[in-house]
Structure 1
Amino acid sequence: MVSRRVIEVEDLTKLALVSDPQISPMADKIAFNITTMSLEEDDYISRIWIYDLRNGELYSLTNGPKDTNLRWSCSGKYIAFTSRRTLKEQEKGSELWVMRLDGGEARLVVKRKTPITQIEWLPGDRRIAMISAAGEFQEDVKIIDRLLFWYNGKGFIHTFRQHLFLVDVQSGDLTQVTSGEIDVNFIAVSTAGDKIAYIAKLDDAKPYIADLFVYNLKSGEHIKLTDSNMDIDFVSWSPDDSKLAFRGHNFRRGTISHRHIYIVPSDGGEVVDLTADIDRNTLNTLNSDVRGPGRSNGPRWVGNYIYFIIHDGGSVNLHRINVDTGKVEAVTKGERSVEAFSAAKSDGVHVVAFTSMNELEPPELYVWKSGLGEKKLTNFNEALLSTLKLSKPINFKFKASDGTLIEGWIMKPPECKGKKVPAVLYIHGGPKTAYGYSFIHEFHLIAAKGYALIYMNPRGSDGYSEEFADIRGHYGERDYQDIMEGVEYVVRNFNFINGDRLGVVGGSYGGYMVNWIVGHTDKFKAAVSMRGISNWFSFYGVSDIGYWFTLDHILGSLEEKPLTKENILKMVNKSPITYAENVKTPLLILHSIEDLRCYYEQALQFFTALKWLGKEVELVLVPKENHDLSRSGKPKHRVERLKQVMKWLDKYLKEKEKART
């Protein structure tokens, strides 16, 4: 029998991240990405793998190191992908490569100084549609004349626009299809190949609005199908090209509205909501720190079915709707997180390739066939997992003081031997994201270090009704109550927790909530705030989303005027820095310097206020990282972040307790 050990910080870099499953047009092969982390190179290595559904053969097609955005040609003979094979480490840009499946070297087709964010083949295997930025770099002095001037993970974008291009695969010649002050975010080529649907944002002042267009390659005509009153992120053609299925919402509850599945005639007409009766999101917002590149999980139209995901509680499963009857049925079931999928049809059989994970296993590759069900195809992480002693989360539900049911989980330390242990409450970001049945290395690490880990989905979270998710204008109220009542419930009902040794950790909105909590209670003996918010008034003018997010989420409506005295006061009252004098809990503030979502001035302000007041506080700043440090930052920085968090928790929940006793 193999002796198992608890998980360690560095085990994060030993995991294989399986992502972006792409079924071939003949439904006989699946191409997908395997991404690994290298501490030695301090980088990610992404390769393309193939699973042959005919004989079960599994093999690596490319050797990387940066091969992503893979797409099959319509004949199934070629695969196109983006890479950085000829680019130097710090050189800006992206490349489009094509290779044959039956042998031969990959061939460079296009080299750009800007990122290529999406590629799609046209029938005939001679042309590829792609999205890439057009514009000129301002390397030194920045001259800015537009509202949306920078973006997290991209930096300054004020001189660039995202546009649709057509690429001749043989010559590499580029033709720009769209132009002007718009940003194209998604494309889909029609079955016949004579049209391209695309989603574009037209107004920097309202970047939450996206419209659906169809471009006719023969006539050059662009048709606008929506009325600038929706947020749309994914589109798919019907088999006969007469209709389009898309995912989006119409701002029923502002920007927190659930995304539904809609259809519209491809030449214009009435937009029909197919999932109006399903009060759940069709987007996967479960938290995880083991995802690779490529999470395409929008609606796919195969035959008379549209395949899509539903996020319900802590699970995300694949469903399909019969377009003729409107009947919805589950394709996958269980406590899991379906991450991404693609679908095709062969000899009347529907075949879906998808990646899925749960709380004890990172994503792996699966296939589902109509009439046969699903089959797991890979076990890339089995060797590592078989050596680890992981804690299976315990699900709990409790009634909040207003009678609403709140769901959460607790992880017991794997080596808890009858004694009471300190506990850590972890709060998710968003706030409209969720915890559930997804793998989070950091959670297993905290449990492995001797802590009970508590996490829950308070009001504001995804996975439940729109009403449940809607805390706009009321941050720090019902969400805070749910969290504190949840902690009381857990301490009361799980006797292995030492209620006198509690810590709290959170990132983004979770970081804001940690900052809020320490200004309103001294229940916790240690706190860690990451990429959080301390001042909504400055967030409004600095964050890449601040000028609209603050209106909707803090003031309560996208129509609010932010700079009235009344609304400035509301922003101040909802800001944790206002309550800095009340803080008694030792606080670690951890922030990335290139975080443009919650800019690091948020950390500097709160640290300065607390330090000047003589509070116990420490600031950790991470260079060359953005808001996504914990999910896609440099491996060494991700490891260091985890070490800093554990060091702080140990200092105040273990070492101080030892000194006291």
Structure 2
Amino acid sequence: MVWVIPSRKFSAFFAAFLLLLLSGSHSIVAQKQLSEDTDQTAKSTNDSLFQPKDIFQLEFASDAQISPDGSTIVYRRNWFDIMNDRSVGDLWMINAAGKHLPMIESATSPRWSPDGTRLAYVGLDRNGKRQLFCHWFAEDRSTALTHLTESPSGITWSPDGKQIAFFMSVAAKAKPFATLPAKPKGAKWADPPKMITKLRYRSDGAGFLPDKFSHLFVVSADGGSPRQLTTGDFNHNGTVAWTSDSKEILISANRHEDHEYQPNNSEIYRVRLADRSITAVTDRVGPDGSPAISDDGKTIAFVGYDDKFLGNQTQTLYVMDSDGGNKRKLLEFDRSVGSPKWSNFHKGFLFTYVDQGNAKLAVVSLDGEMKKLADNLGSNCIGRPYAGPSSFTVADNGAIAFCVTTPMMPGELARLDEGDLQVLTHLNNDLLEHKVLGEVTEQRFPSSAGELEIQSWIMVPPNFDPSKKYPLILEIHGGPFAAYGDVFSAELQLMASAGYVVLYVNPRGSTSYGQDFANEIHHNYPGQDYDDLMSAVDTVIANGYVDKDRLYVTGGSGGGVLTAWIIGSTNRFKAAVVAKPVINWYSFALTSDAYNFFYKYWFPGLPWDHTEHYMKRSPISKVGNVETPTMLLTGEADYRTPISESEQYYQALKLRKIDAAMVRIPGASHGIAARPSHLLAKVAYILKWFATHP
């Protein structure tokens, strides 16, 4: 069942319009250079650089699924629909002969049957609803197995190939609080009131949460009526692990009575299909998740930690016997691990982790011996350069499929077979082979605060000449417990193409350097991470190619916090863009969508009990020092760092008569780059603000 890929190419009209719209995003240096060139030379130079219009041309691979015999890989090929302004994806296959074939349009979550004869996936039915489908390879036919009212997720085959488990949202049974009279036929009344009683009632990216809970289902692999296995006002999601006899399923959930107030206290549960009984097999205070079972059924692996209410806590790998006894830590490793999967060939559990900004794949034996297998995991291609592993799968013969990325390459499909790594796709060669990208180098330096070694990356403009002086953008990651890394970043490439040196840093508080390094900012953020960032700027200036009088700073989320903190502490930057920030920790702790989490992990307690502590760490406390021209940029539907935070800062700056602007992105949540046009707008406004303040 082969289909033709819809055209992803720009029309000449739209390309010209977009270039006109974003023409103001070049730096002063780039604008001057273009004005001095002939029209033909300018056009040639422009075409050779990575431009905003190129965002819609990018593709990237994800969700690599290798067949049980290792001969074939199915993966999702992601692209950007310019007409509907969204990311979409289709399933492609690399068969045993190495031929690259399109397979299923607008589908996700491909999963091989245990015998390799079928592929389950989530696709669209004739009504445009997400359903569970199955493709039979011998017959080259696909059909829907379900007729669900909600989208399925987490689909997983039983070992005997007879059933498929999945999660689906189910509406809670609730009666209206008040009964209103029926409106007359044809009357236009206002929308009815919304009654909210649950603790967490909205979520960034999802909006106000309906009264629904995610539950576990199974359905016959031949189709039919799904059977619901879990009940109650609890959410069940994540990884599904079947026992080898296909009679029980392990899942992770937080089914405690106080689950709303203890969001980190999940357990591993055993669900019996025969009677739908649910039994907890872990019981500690802290998160337990991602269950995986060895093929002989004797060992269960899972990840988690004992909750000590720190800002950052290392998630490690544990094992226990099949009955839940003999729990023990399998790995003594100061990096958070994830996605354990058993491999008979490798005689252990494979897992992912991030070390010093680079995502890796490793295996650990049941004796605790660890061996690294691969570097550069990731499928990032849009937005900022966050380090994070791609998913992976392993065949019976030990071959492993996953995705890889570098600063010069968006996510591509790769295969690792007995130490031999092959990159199987080159999805962006048609675009990037004709572009001059900003090259990236790593630089480490001692911080001025305590001589702590800090890792950074420097992206230089295309056709970089080290004898010249360039303006610098310090771009700061969010989290704050996160990490930038050596991965592709469309946003930063656009900044480099506009003529800037771009500096991005993992200051203290960043993950992938161990728990102690991350918790340097525990109950102390912002803190000495400010010193780390200033040391990074000084180190790059010392390289000789940065104009110290043309420094700019921006960052989003936690990076927005630090940008606001920086301009309240120094006037060395010509202009700043504070994106989706927290400005007042007191108000944030009571308006963020995760307000049941932040007050007890990032702070010593409730804000009214620690008012001075909250205010001391809030950038609003430094607003009286700000002289830097500042733009605020936030999505209007952001529930993680609500736009009220930006409004506070903007209005405070305006009262002080500081050169300030506020950019509100309609419909955008915290993940502004979720829609390609929002990413383009974000970068265009940042660069135009900087160009306006040379």
TM-score, with structure 1 as normaliser:
0.89
Paired residues for 1:421-432 under 5 Å: 421-432=470-481
Which residue is 2:363 aligned to? Answer: 320
Deviation at 1:10? 1.8
Paired residues for 1:185-224 under 5 Å: 185-186=237-238, 187-202=240-255, 203-224=259-280
Which residue is 2:12 aligned to? Answer: none
* Contact 1:145/1:158 (8 A) holds in 2: no
- Judged with a 3 Å threshold, the aligned counterparts in structure 2 of structure 1 residues 592 and 114 are, in CA distance, closer, same or farther, namely farther
Deviation at 1:148? 1.5
Structure 1, 197-206 or 222-231: larger mean CA deviation:
222-231
* Contact 1:231/1:249 (8 A) holds in 2: yes
Counterpart Cα distance in 2 of 1:333 and 1:157: 38
Which residue is 1:262 aligned to? Answer: 318
Does residue 449 in structure 1 map to residue 494 in structure 2?
no
Deviation at 1:334? 6.7
Does residue 119 in structure 1 map to residue 155 in structure 2?
yes
Deviation at 1:447? 0.9
Counterpart Cα distance in 2 of 1:440 and 1:419: 24
Counterpart Cα distance in 2 of 1:605 and 1:561: 21
Counterpart Cα distance in 1 of 2:212 and 2:635: 24
Does residue 83 in structure 1 map to residue 123 in structure 2?
yes
Which residue is 2:389 aligned to? Answer: 339
Deviation at 1:582? 1.6
Aligned CA-pair RMSD: 2.2
Which residue is 1:280 aligned to? Answer: 335
Counterpart Cα distance in 2 of 1:435 and 1:306: 27
User: What letter corresponds to residue 263 of structure 2 in structure 1?
Assistant: P
Counterpart Cα distance in 2 of 1:580 and 1:83: 50
Counterpart Cα distance in 2 of 1:339 and 1:548: 25
Which residue is 2:105 aligned to? Answer: 63
Q: Deviations over 1:449-488 (max 9, x none)?
A: 1001111110000110211001111012111111112212
Counterpart Cα distance in 2 of 1:590 and 1:151: 20
Counterpart Cα distance in 2 of 1:194 and 1:478: 53
2:598 alignment partner, one of 549, 552, 559: 549
Which residue is 1:299 aligned to? Answer: 340
- Judged with a 3 Å threshold, the aligned counterparts in structure 2 of structure 1 residues 171 and 63 are, in CA distance, closer, same or farther, namely closer
* Contact 2:267/2:289 (8 A) holds in 1: no
- Judged with a 3 Å threshold, the aligned counterparts in structure 2 of structure 1 residues 535 and 87 are, in CA distance, closer, same or farther, namely farther
Counterpart Cα distance in 1 of 2:570 and 2:422: 49
1:638 alignment partner, one of 662, 669, 679: 679
Which residue is 1:290 aligned to? Answer: none
* Contact 2:352/2:389 (8 A) holds in 1: no
SS at match of 1:45: strand
User: What letter corresponds to residue 574 of structure 2 in structure 1?
Assistant: K
1:51 alignment partner, one of 83, 94, 97: 94
Does residue 29 in structure 1 map to residue 78 in structure 2?
no
User: What letter corresponds to residue 344 of structure 1 in structure 2?
Assistant: V
1:148 alignment partner, one of 181, 200, 215: 200
Q: Deviations over 1:328-381 (max 9, x none)?
A: 1111147986732433343xx3111111111110111111123x5222211111
Structure 1, 218-227 or 14-23: larger mean CA deviation:
218-227
Does residue 483 in structure 1 map to residue 537 in structure 2?
no
Structure 1, 424-433 or 22-31: larger mean CA deviation:
22-31
SS at match of 2:70: coil
User: What letter corresponds to residue 500 of structure 2 in structure 1?
Assistant: Y
- Judged with a 3 Å threshold, the aligned counterparts in structure 2 of structure 1 residues 308 and 171 are, in CA distance, closer, same or farther, namely closer
Paired residues for 1:124-135 under 5 Å: 124-135=160-171
- Judged with a 3 Å threshold, the aligned counterparts in structure 2 of structure 1 residues 27 and 191 are, in CA distance, closer, same or farther, namely farther
Structure 1, 220-229 or 641-650: larger mean CA deviation:
220-229
1:172 alignment partner, one of 224, 227, 244: 224
Counterpart Cα distance in 2 of 1:344 and 1:435: 27
Which residue is 2:647 aligned to? Answer: 604
* Structure 1 segments unaligned to the other structure (5+ residues): 284-297
Deviation at 1:49? 0.9
SS at match of 1:146: coil
Which residue is 2:447 aligned to? Answer: 400
Which residue is 1:182 aligned to? Answer: 234
Q: Deviations over 1:284-321 (max 9, x none)?
A: xxxxxxxxxxxxxx111111211112311121111111
Counterpart Cα distance in 1 of 2:424 and 2:630: 45
User: What letter corresponds to residue 6 of structure 1 in structure 2?
Assistant: L
Which residue is 1:287 aligned to? Answer: none
Counterpart Cα distance in 2 of 1:83 and 1:518: 48
Paired residues for 1:582-661 under 5 Å: 582-630=625-673, 633-652=674-693, 657=694
* Contact 1:144/1:158 (8 A) holds in 2: no
Deviation at 1:158? 5.2
Fraction of identical pairs, as percent: 27
User: What letter corresponds to residue 231 of structure 2 in structure 1?
Assistant: S
Counterpart Cα distance in 2 of 1:81 and 1:171: 13
User: What letter corresponds to residue 144 of structure 2 in structure 1?
Assistant: L
User: What letter corresponds to residue 48 of structure 1 in structure 2?
Assistant: L
Counterpart Cα distance in 2 of 1:75 and 1:7: 45
SS at match of 2:390: strand
Q: How many residue pairs end up in the alignment?
A: 617
Structure 1, 111-120 or 15-24: larger mean CA deviation:
111-120
Paired residues for 1:386-535 under 5 Å: 386-401=433-448, 402-417=450-465, 418-470=467-519, 471-491=521-541, 493-535=542-584
Counterpart Cα distance in 1 of 2:427 and 2:305: 37
Deviation at 1:41? 2.4
Deviation at 1:85? 4.4
Counterpart Cα distance in 1 of 2:394 and 2:464: 48
Which residue is 2:432 aligned to? Answer: 385
User: What letter corresponds to residue 691 of structure 2 in structure 1?
Assistant: D
- Judged with a 3 Å threshold, the aligned counterparts in structure 2 of structure 1 residues 515 and 87 are, in CA distance, closer, same or farther, namely farther
